[in-house]
Structure formats: structure tokens, C-alpha cells
Amino acid sequence: MKALVTGGAGFIGSHLTDMLIQSGAVVHVIDNLSTGSKNHVNPAAILHVEDINSDACSKIIEHVRPDVVFHLAAQVDVQRSIADPAFDSTVNIVGTIRLLKACEQAKVSKIIFSSTSAAYGDSNNERHEEEAVPAPISYYGLSKQASESYIRLFHRMYGINYTILRYSNVYGPRQSSAGEGGVVAIFLNKLNKGLPVHVHGSGDQTRDFIYVQDVVKANLAAIHQGEQETINISTGLRTSINNLIHMMKMIHGQDAQITYGTERPGDIMDSCLDNSKAERVLGWRPMSSLFEGLTQSYQQYR
């Protein structure tokens, strides 16, 4: 199998590239390295340093003619999307459209799209099912929802096969603590440096944290299953930010100073996804507990 991973030098994409190569696939990676790192790219992969909005990216796809494209390249910073919605839409919406057009030209068999729980908005203390009406409260969530709609319409017009995977809050090794980053990466980085951990809001807000290796396995399961489906990839379990910090301090073995500030616009109060469809359609279920995953992540920041 020949696979192409956009954003393959990034957090999730690099882990996915590793596992694809382990499975025997020939893997091409497209990444502009704005947030990804060459050091994360498996040496057996073929790296193309290009932006998904470039003509060169389209030509690479048309030349490589991959069997499957995993589209992970994106602008994922909620606060940046609010500060600069035009940039967010250019990367996430226009970039996806250009990718879809290139895939249509190259006769790609399937696109597996990495979407987000941010498309749902606040969960009102319930687990979101895929049939829930999207109600994003950030431009990032809106741009990912719009990208999903373009994928569905491209399938209707050109027959391009797809699976859309909506991730809950992914964490694990290689996750960046720069900028907004991931909350787990940011907190672990602060703990290891002996710095105060700052929480936006009360800390009572909840998230559905899922380990990166479980997300990668869901992508692999979607290669041959889940045609024209939108599927939540999550644990289905809620964890408050305060409980998350408590677990991290246990793993760290030392106390830490916790500070609290105001909530930020676009931040969701509660987010949890129902994952029963993933088990039913993909035969997938998460295998890593939060404590196990945090322990693995902690080793990186040591």
C-alpha cells in the first residue's frame, strides 16, 4: 500500500507514519514544518517539505498517486483561529479543498480526515453522538466542520471515498507545549521545569483525553472500514482539568503551584464523545488508560 500523510512531521501524523511503515506501507509525508519537526519523521518515509495550499503539493499527490491519503495538516490553535479567522480558514478549509481536488485528479482511493470534537461545541454534560447537530464556538471548530462538508460534497460529486474521524483531546509523546499546544504537554512541561501550572478558568471544565497511539490505530482501522462515515474517536470518559493535574502531580512525585485565571473565548466548558460507533463500525476501542498514557508522556518531558 502507498500512503500519503499530510502533517506527517507533526504530533499525531508522525506516530501514524511510524505505524504505517511498521505495517509495510510506502509512506510519503507532506509537511511545511511550521509546527512539525524533521526529527519526528521516520527515516523510511519520503518527506516533501511543502504547504498543502501550494501548487507543488497538488503536483506531488498527482505524481505519487497514493492509495490512501491521511489528512492531518491543519491550524489547530483555537485562540489563533479567533485572533485570525482568515488564516485559520485558509489553512483548514482552502487547504482541504485543494487537497481534495488533487486527490480527485490522482484517483486516490480513500481520504481519512482528522476532525475534532470542537465541531460539536459544548456538550452540556452529555456525550456527543455523531448525529448531534454541530454547534462550534470557535472558528477552528467551524473550519473543521466546513472541511467535513466539503469532503462529503466531493464524494457526492466525484465519488471520492472517505472516513471522517472526530478526535477528542489527543495527548502523548511528541505533543508540543509551544503556543496553545496541548494541555497535557503544557502542564507536564511546567511541572518538569518547576514552574507554576496556570489554568484558564476554574479547572472544573472537563475533557475526554485519548492517547495518541489509540488514535493512530483508529486511522489504520479506517483504511478498509467506515466508508462515508463520520466517527468519534474518544474514550467516552470525562476528566476535569483539576483531576488531570492531580494525576500529573502523582506521576511527577512532587507538589506544584497551581494558579487560576479567567476563561478564554472559544474554550469549551465540557467535552465528551460517545465512541460506540467506532467500536461497531471500525472494530476499534481505546486501550490506554489516562494514567498509563500520562506516565508514557511524562517520560518524554523527563
Catalytic residues: 140
Kindly write down the DSSP assignment for every residue of 223-276, as one continuous string: TSS-TTEEEEES----EEHHHHHHHHHHHHTS---EEEE---TT--SB--B--H
Cβ 167 vs Cβ 141: under 8 Å = no
Q: What DSSP element (H or E) covers 157?
A: helix 139-158
Give dist(CA 26, CA 45) in Å, integer. 7
Q: Which long-range contacts (CB under 8 A, 24 or more apart) does 72-75 make?
A: 72/5, 72/6, 72/7, 72/8, 72/10, 72/12, 72/13, 72/16, 72/114, 73/6, 73/7, 73/10, 73/13, 73/30, 73/31, 73/32, 74/7, 74/114, 74/144, 75/140, 75/143
Cβ 73 vs Cβ 7: under 8 Å = yes
